[in-house]
Amino acid sequence: MNRLVAPSLLSADFGNLDKDIEMVNSSQADWFHLDIMDGVFVPNISFGFPVVAQVKRMAQKPLDVHLMIVDPDRYLEKFKEAGADVLTVHYEACNHLHRTLSQIRALGMKAGVSINPHTSVEVLNDILEEADLVLIMSVNPGFGGQKFIKNSIQKITRLKEMITQKGCKTLIEVDGGVDANNAAALYAAGADVLVAGNAVFKAENPTKAIEILKNA
C-alpha cells in the first residue's frame, strides 16, 4: 500500500508561489498536484503552461497534472514539454480514452484517468490496464475548499477490488475535501495518493498538515 500526498497548488499563494513550492520541496509531500481548468469542462479557469513550466523549474518532486478540460488530446504534448510527470484526463472529456491514455504513456508520462462524483467506477473496468492511476473526484471539480462527498469511500473500495481482481498496479488517487479527518479512512479503503489543497495551504502550519496526512 502506498501513502502519497500531493498538495494542490490551486490553494497556494500565487503572489508567493516560490515560497509555497519550497515548503512542499522540504516537506514529506510526494508530488505537486496542478489543476488545469478551461472554463468549459468546469465552471472555473485556473492557469496554463507558463505556470506549470515555472513550477517545474523549482519543484524537486514529480508534477501530477490534473486536466479538467475538454478535448485534452490537443494538449498532451504541450503538458509533457511543460514538465508533467503524471498526466490525468477526465473520463467524461474523452471519446477515445484508450487512445488518449496510450498517447500519454507514449510521451513518457504516467497516464491517469479521473471520474466525477456522478460517474461509476465500473465504467473503468475495460481500461484499468491502460491507466497508471485513477483519480476519484470526491467533490464536483472546479474549486478548492468544498465538502468531501462521502459516497467516494465506497467508490475507492470497489475500485480497489477491481484493481486487485485484474492484478494490475493502477494507483488510486482521491481529490476534493481531503483532510486530517478523512485521510485514514481513505487509505484504509485503498487510496494510494491523497490530494489536498485547503487542508494544506490554509493550515496554520502547512508542513505539519502534510505530515499529518502522510501519517494518518
Write the DSSP symbol of residue 200. Answer: H
Q: Find out whether 36 and 65 touch, Cβ atoms under 8 Å.
A: yes
- Quick one: how far is CA 10 from the chain centroid? 12
Whole-number Å distance between alpha carbons of 125 and 111:
16
CA distances from 108 to 4, 9, 32, 128, 143 (A): 21, 23, 18, 18, 29
For Zn ion, give the closer residue by CB, 166 or 202.
202
Q: Considering the candidates 35, 64, 132, 192, report the single residue annotated as catalytic.
A: 35
For Zn ion, give the closer residue by CB, 126 or 172.
172
What SS3 state is found at 32?
Answer: strand
Q: Find out whether 5 and 179 touch, Cβ atoms under 8 Å.
A: no
The answer to whether 35 is a known catalytic residue is: yes
Whole-number Å distance between alpha carbons of 38 and 144:
15
- Nearest CA to 89 among 118, 63, 66? 66
For Zn ion, give the closer residue by CB, 163 or 193.
193
Candidates 21-29, 94-102, 157-165, 194-202; binding stretch for ligand DX5 (CB under 6 A): 194-202
**Binding test (CB under 6 A) with ligand DX5, winner from 23, 29, 36, 196:** 196
For ligand DX5, give the closer residue by CB, 30 or 169.
30
Residue 35 interacting with Zn ion (CB under 5 A): yes
CB of 31 to Zn ion, least distance (A): 11
How many residues make contact with ligand DX5 (CB under 6 A)?
A: 22
Residues 6+ apart with CB under 8 A from 50: none
Q: Could you say which of Zn ion, ligand DX5, none residue 112 binds, taking C-beta under 5 to 8 angstroms by partner kind? A: none
For ligand DX5, give the closer residue by CB, 177 or 190.
177
**Binding test (CB under 6 A) with ligand DX5, winner from 12, 36, 178, 216:** 178
Q: Could you say which of Zn ion, ligand DX5, none residue 43 binds, taking C-beta under 5 to 8 angstroms by partner kind? A: none
Partners of 16 in the β-ladder: none
Catalytic residue numbers, as ranges: 35, 175
Query: Would you tell me which residues interact with Zn ion (CB under 5 A)?
Result: 35, 66, 175
Interface contacts to ligand DX5, rule CB under 6 A:
8, 10-11, 33, 35, 66, 139, 141-146, 175-178, 195-199
